[in-house]
Amino acid sequence: MVSKKKKKYSSGEGAQFMTRKAALKKLQLSLKDFRRICILKGIYPREPRNRKRAQKGAGGIKTLYHTKDIKFLLHEPIIWKLRELKVYQQKIRRARAQREYGKMRKFLRDYPEINIDHIVKERYPTFVDALRDLDDCLTLCFLFSTFPSLKKVPRDQSFLCRRLTVEFMHAVIAAKALRKVFVSVKGFYYQVEFEGQTITWIVPHHFSFQPQSKDEVDFKIMATFVEFYTMMLGFVNFKLYHSLNLVYPPKLPIGFSSEKDKDLIDEQSYVSERIAAMNISPAKIEGSNEVEELPEIDIFPTEDNDPQKLEEAKLEAEKIKKLKTLFKGLKFYINREVPREPLVFIIRCFGGECSWDKDHFVGATFDETDETIAYQIVDRPSMDKQYLSRYYIQPQWVFDSVNTRTLLPINKYLIGAILPPHLSPFVDTIKDQVYIPPEERELNDPNFKPLNADSSGSEIEEASDEDKEEQNEPDSEDSDAERAITKQYQQEVDEDSSQDEEENDDDDLDPEKKKLAKEKKKSMRVTTGVTHKEHPYQKEIEDKQAFRLREKLVRKKHRNLYKSMKAGQEKRKKEIWLLRKKRRLHDEKIKDEKKAEKRKQKMQALEATSI
């Protein structure tokens, strides 16, 4: 029996991958619908090991998908919904063209809706899986919540993002789950912890919206992502509220419903109502108790039985317990020039109370005249009227206190004070190659003294002089010791030679033997040695050569992994070098500006004296 010849590319990478054109033909979908269903299902292009085999010998670079993923999409019921939508769109276009507006209204009323609940449950079977993938979801939802009504962003979608984000922030406040905050140019970074999972997202700054003149951003793709993320965030909020014994959905102000048209135009009113909603605690389920605090950590025997790790875990749990009640019992009054939303969110997360001027913004809970106010947050150089019963601080004090997990001294954050550097708490302690700015090194290491811009030259000179002295001292000591030893040996040898000569004079020996004995003794004398100086880079060169030899011993199957590790190290080293260079240029620029300012002041002083 003759076996059939195996066709080329019927197995291996040729059968594992499929081009986008072939996928569209197999699914019978347009490119727009294919993109939408891939975003909803979480399917993305793949990179093959051998592109030529994966593309079945074709040249160029094509978008490739796993054949398994495309076959998986064949059984998705949403594909049939997309085909129904296409039919309805054709009917609506035909009715509009024929001016049959009654039919067109009927088709619009019966327009089918796509339900993606089953996709969320399929992609995230457990609640922890959803929490792990919540970073991008929150960042995009917070971004869309700041958008006004746009042509390519549905009106209901932006309102839904507004409501869901405020609900999530309420859950964070109720659970006291906030851990880190940071202010950057992009916006406000927040990090929370739910069920052992850390979630980090960005809330953009509130500026007036500027519409794009060109289609630089594909809002349709982003809107498709938001369509899935809003459904996912709704599931997460529902689970969080029920675990915290809160009523879901919470009652929010009228501005979070899409019935009011004025909120689409007035961004300021939306922001005010959003902040006012955060300043009110959500309703609890009737008959429910307060959320129980986390129990103390039990000590279980582990494989390594490392007591240091257990002690670190205990200390971390105690710090978090104190952090949750950082602002408990404290009242804060926020001036109108201060950004209120991040401060209200942070203060409420740690048990504090806050208010503001009720004449300017809604949602104030107490007046400025209240004597129980502990801190007033101000962002101006001075204030006319001040109360003796409270501290007047700048907003950075709140962020830095949260990151250090303690109430910092206020002397560096008073009105008009030059603030200390606002350092990022998002530092990866696992990596060995991390850029640490000089300010952070100064805080962590009390012995560290950064070189000042004015006195850098003198300090470097002093250091070099000290190094020279240290280098010269041991050489002088060694030479003195060598001289003393050689002198002692010389004296002993001279004594021995004098005794031998006396003995030889007494004895009648052959002159030839005497001559040989004298030469032998002369050769045995100790002479002054010469200090051997090693090459300063010799040891470093030898270490490098030994390291290259060890690299050649890496096995062939581990060689690619080793190369990628080395490439990662070089990349991180380059990033650190660039950051240091950027910082050095920045410091030099500030130094030049200070010199120019001093020169200008001197010239003005000279002109004044000459006049």
Q: What is the C-alpha to C-alpha distance for residues 437 and 434, in angstroms, rounded to an integer? A: 10
Burial class of residue 538 in the structure, from the number of CB atoms within 10 Å of its CB (0-12 exposed, 13-18 middle, 19+ buried): exposed
pLDDT in tens, 217-259: 788 888 899 999 999 999 999 999 999 888 888 876 655 554 4
Give the C-alpha separation, 531 to 536, whole Å: 15
- Residue 167 corresponds to which tokens in the numbers above? 């609900």
pTM for this model (two decimals) = 0.74
* Residue 200 tokens, joined: 């980090």
483 pLDDT higher than 80: no
pLDDT for residue 1: 55
Both tokens of residue 338?
């201060």
Query: What is the tens place of the pLDDT at every residue in 550-583?
Result: 988 999 889 999 999 999 989 988 998 999 899 8
The domain made up of 327-426 is a member of CATH 3.40.50.10190: yes
Per-residue model confidence as pLDDT tens digits over 249-292: 887 665 555 444 444 445 566 677 777 777 777 777 765 555 54
Q: Tell me the two tokens of residue 172.
A: 């964070």
Which two structure tokens, joined as six digits, stand for 155? 């009106």
Domains of the chain, by residue range, sit at 13-109, 117-207+218-278, 327-426, 428-459+543-611
Q: What percent of the chain has pLDDT over 90?
A: 31
pLDDT at 301 over 70: no
Contact partners, residue 608, CB within 8 Å, separation at least 6: none
User: Rounded to the nearest 10 degrees, what angle do helices 78-97 and 101-109 cross at?
Assistant: 160
pLDDT for residue 270: 63
* pLDDT classification of 21: cutoffs 50, 70, 90: very high
The torsion angle over the Cα atoms of residues 206, 209, 213 and 219, rounded to 10 degrees, is: 70
Residue 282, preceding peptide bond in cis (omega within 30° of 0): no
pLDDT digits (tens, 9 = 90+) for 487-536: 655 565 565 555 555 554 545 557 888 888 888 877 777 777 777 777 87
Rounded to whole angstroms, the Cα distance separating 85 from 593 reads: 64
- Answer yes or no: are the C-beta atoms of 79 and 30 closer than 8 Å: no
Encoded amino acid at 61, one letter: I
CB 64 within 8 A of CB 48: yes
User: Is 154 exposed, middle or buried, given 0-12, 13-18 or 19+ CB atoms closer than 10 A?
Assistant: middle
If you average pLDDT over residues 392-403, what whole number do you get?
A: 92
How many of the other CB atoms lie within 10 Å of CB of 222? 17
Helices (H), 279-387: 307-324, 340-349
Instruction: Please give the Cα distance from 161 to 201 (Å, whole number).
Output: 15
Q: 420-457, pLDDT tens digit by residue?
A: 888 888 877 666 677 888 877 777 777 776 655 443 33
pLDDT for 208: 64
Return the pLDDT at 507: 52
Whole-number pLDDT of residue 305: 63
> Is 367 in contact with 354 (CB distance < 8 Å)?
no
Residue 314 in tokens: 């205990």
Q: How confident is the model over 330-364, as pLDDT tens digits?
A: 999 999 888 888 899 999 999 889 898 888 788 78
